[in-house]
Amino acid sequence: MTDTDIALLLADAADGVEIGIAPTQAVIRGGRRRRARRWAVAAGAALALAGTTGAVALTGLPGGDGARVTPAVTRPPEHVSLTEPHRTQLASGVEDGKGWQVYVDVWDAPRNKAEAETQLTAMAGYRGEWPASVRTAADLVGKTTYFVQRSYQGDEAVAIENSLSKGSAQVSTDMDAGAIGLAPESKPLRLVIGRIAKSAEEVTCLWKDGTSTVLHRVAGQRANGDFKQGIRTVEGSQDRWFACLAPKGTAYQDARVTGLAP
């Protein structure tokens, strides 16, 4: 076949072909399907990776918010101080040129017999604070122990002491109070110290001469460094405390909670 014969055959074939508009929508749909397949492949790969590593943030993937799982926080065990107490100053002042102070020492409750034995040893070496009601170390387990120290011209002595379980907090107008002399071995009994509920807002101390002193919640010191008589929060104690000194020439008669928090 000559070159002329081939050219004639090609011309005849071209005459039989119909030329129309390109199938645009079909091309677009094909492109969308390909993109969808690419997303599916990417998501599948990410999920497979999550199955092997344990945690993957799907940031950038359809429906992924990038959130990460945070491990649960483990609460640390409660700290218990066995070798020294929490000390809070209740009140202080000067009378006839002689200074006086009242402190409350609170020892945390030991959690077992071994801790109780450690605490008893520490108590013996710390200002001689030994709970009279305790016969063995086991008696202290689960109990908070407090000692009220009265200092007069630097002479310290335990005025009140007791051990209480956590369920022994004062409620409403409950009060545990007593009076001692301001100076060692002195009379009349003018210095009143008491333990009250945390809801107590006001305490009234009644004196034998018919007068009274009203106490409210206080915090910190006066400008002269004294600790004003009033109701105070005591570190380590489940209750609040107060100290009140009768005027010279009279003595303690009674004390009452006369105001509660609404």
- Integer CA distances (angstroms), 254 to 40, 45, 144, 155, 208, in order: 84, 81, 27, 27, 9
- Strand partners for 222: none
Q: What is the rounded distance in angstroms from the CA atom of residue 235 to the CA atom of residue 241? A: 10
End-to-end CA distance of the chain: 117
- How confident is the model at residue 109, as a pLDDT? 96
Sign of the torsion formed by the C-alpha atoms of 228, 232, 234 and 237: positive
Question: Residue 219: which pLDDT band, with cuts at 50, 70 and 90?
Answer: confident
pTM, two decimals, is 0.68
In eight-state DSSP terms, residue 203 is E
Q: What is the rounded distance in angstroms from the CA atom of residue 235 to the CA atom of residue 106? A: 7
Helix (H, G, I), strand (E, B) or coil at 122: helix
- How confident is the model at residue 46, as a pLDDT? 35
Q: What is the rounded distance in angstroms from the CA atom of residue 150 to the CA atom of residue 100? A: 7
Mean pLDDT in the chain? 79
- Of the listed ranges 13-27, 186-200, 239-253, the least confidently predicted one is 13-27
Q: What is the rounded distance in angstroms from the CA atom of residue 208 to the CA atom of residue 247? A: 10
Residue whose C-alpha is closest to residue 171's, from 240, 237, 229, 235? 240
- How confident is the model at residue 258, as a pLDDT? 97
Six-digit token string for 110: 């030991």
Kindly report, residue by residue over 102-156, the tens digit of the pLDDT: 999 999 999 999 999 999 999 988 887 888 878 899 999 999 999 999 999 989 8
Mean pLDDT over 73-82 rounds to 60
- Of the listed ranges 58-62, 97-101, 121-125, 209-213, the least confidently predicted one is 58-62
Six-digit token string for 228: 């004003």
Taking CA 84 as the corner, what is the angle to CA 82 and CA 86, rounded to the nearest 5 degrees? Answer: 105
Six-digit token string for 1: 């076949």
**Percent over 90 (pLDDT), the chain:** 55
Determine the residue type at 45.
A
For the CA atoms of the chain, what is the radius of gyration? 42
Pick the most confident of 6-10, 30-34, 44-48, 118-122.
118-122
Helix (H, G, I), strand (E, B) or coil at 104: strand
Which one has a higher pLDDT value, 249 or 228? 249
Residue 110's Cα: distance from chain center in Å?
A: 19
Q: What is the rounded distance in angstroms from the CA atom of residue 134 to the CA atom of residue 140? A: 7
